[in-house]
Amino acid sequence: MSRTTKQSMFLATAFLIIFNLVSAANAVPNSATAKVDPFQMDKLLGRGVNLGNALEAPREGEWGVTLKEEYFDIIKQAGFNSIRLPTRWSAHAMAEKPYTIDPNFFKRIDWAVNCAISRNMPIMVNIQQYVELYTDPNAHKERFIALWKQIAEHYKDYPDKLLLELFNEPDDALTPELWNDFLKDTLAVVRESNPNRIVVIDPARDSIPSSLKFLKIPENDRNIIVSVHYYFPLAFTHQGAPWMSPKYDPNSWMGTKWMGTDAEKKAITDEFDIAVAWSKANNRPVNLGEFGTYKKADMESRVRWTKFVADTAAERGMSLLYWEFCAQEFGLYDQQTRSWRKPLLDAVIPPAVSPPALNKAEGSNPTK
Ligand code: GLC
């Protein structure tokens, strides 16, 4: 080999090394999201609402809610900061490998995500109602992870206001130990395409605060918000709710009130103190992803309970998302009369916290 060849090879190699170093330094991360502080994101979630009973029904509309663009304006104008979008991906994907998600379903979710983000509201999309995961989780693990691989890749370039929540209320056969395995493997797949996006993780046993102690999240992944749900006492919040049987007898709960006695309040603050203690010990934000009361309870008790739970969470610096917007179940908003159930709404967002109404220059009020 001649000297000149060697020299030019050396120069070429040096050039390649420098080129690679420079391009690595300038590399566009394979996710559009820069690192976001999860505590800051939790603050942005503020007070939000679940668009429940829509896209986690077997088919949208079957549970009485079909989303409309105006809902996002109505929600924003009432003063909500964020949205959670429960989503039944498992009903819109192939049952067999490669478990492809229906592109039309993706389009519908894209639309909802864009409706929220274009109004500057963070939105949390999850997997909800993948019911087989409660009875036979291992048989569905591969499919669950394959769904997440597709969802994560699809949204990898979306703004950081899109949050991905791995699974709503792991429970039953998806035990705390098994859920720890599932979440580790699923998170690894999501991180391949979304290294920085905020991922939301619920503890097992129905996302209740007292099961946080079982939760194991990879220590080095800090881009995470942990989310608990709160519906206690069930005999009050779920009286008459048909889906609670046969595990419980919801009709025997009818007439249960929540008066706000010291003992009733303490039962709630004790649970939230557990969440706060876990949050501090683990240095991770804990959010309240669902709380609410089924329509069969009396309205005065519902308002008292809702206000107390919302205040308890807010006082502890937790973001909170009410379950849910407009179904004929827990709904804050009445689709028929196109109006808020004002006392309930005020319990979630005290009027002093809600922003002044938009003036004419900013846009019209679609509720009128
Ligand atoms: C869970 C369920 C939802 C139910 C809510 C209150 O989020 O997924 O269907 O309405 O809890 O029970």
Does residue 136 sit within a domain? yes
Residue 150 identity (one-letter amino acid): Q
What confidence tens digit (pLDDT) does each residue in 101-132 have?
Answer: 999 999 999 999 999 999 999 999 999 999 99
Atom of ligand 1 nearest to the CA of 238: 12
Q: What is the DSSP string of 138-161?
A: HHHHHHHHHHHHHHHHHTTTS-TT
> Residue 108's domain is classified under what CATH number?
3.20.20.80
What confidence tens digit (pLDDT) does each residue in 270-320 have?
Answer: 999 999 999 999 999 999 999 999 999 999 999 999 999 999 999 999 999
Q: Which of 290, 300, 329, 362 does the annotation list as catalytic? A: 290
Does residue 282 sit within a domain? yes
- Pairing of β 162-165 and β 199-201: parallel
Is the confidence at residue 10, as pLDDT, over 90? no
Site to substitute for ligand 1 among 84, 248, 290, 326, most atoms within 8 A of C-beta: 290
Does residue 313 sit within a domain? yes
Does 290 contact ligand 1 (Cβ within 6 A)? yes
Across residues 81-96, what is the average pLDDT?
98
Confidence at 141, pLDDT banded by 50, 70, 90: very high
Distance between start and end Cα atoms, the chain:
83
Q: Is 101 helix (H, G, I), strand (E, B) or coil?
A: strand
Structural tokens at position 337? 């009369």
Does residue 146 sit within a domain? yes
Does residue 70 sit within a domain? yes
User: HEC states along 220-283?
Assistant: CCCCEEEEEEECCCHHHHCCCCHHHCCCCCHHHHCCCCCCCCHHHHHHHHHHHHHHHHHHHHHC
Q: Which of 56, 169, 324, 329 does the annotation list as catalytic? A: 169
290 is catalytic: yes
Is the confidence at residue 16, as pLDDT, over 70? no
Does 168 contact ligand 1 (Cβ within 6 A)? yes
Q: How many CA atoms lie within 13 A of 355 on its CB side?
A: 13
Confidence at 15, pLDDT banded by 50, 70, 90: very low
Domain count, the chain: 1
Does residue 40 sit within a domain? no
Angle between helices 137-154 and 176-193 (to 10 degrees): 20
Boundaries of domain holding 270: 47-348
Element holding 186 (H helix, E strand): helix 176-193
Site to substitute for ligand 1 among 169, 227, 295, most atoms within 8 A of C-beta: 169
Q: What dihedral do alpha carbons 16, 19, 24, 25 form, nearest 10°?
A: 150
Q: What is the pLDDT of residue 35?
A: 80
Is the confidence at residue 356, as pLDDT, over 60? no
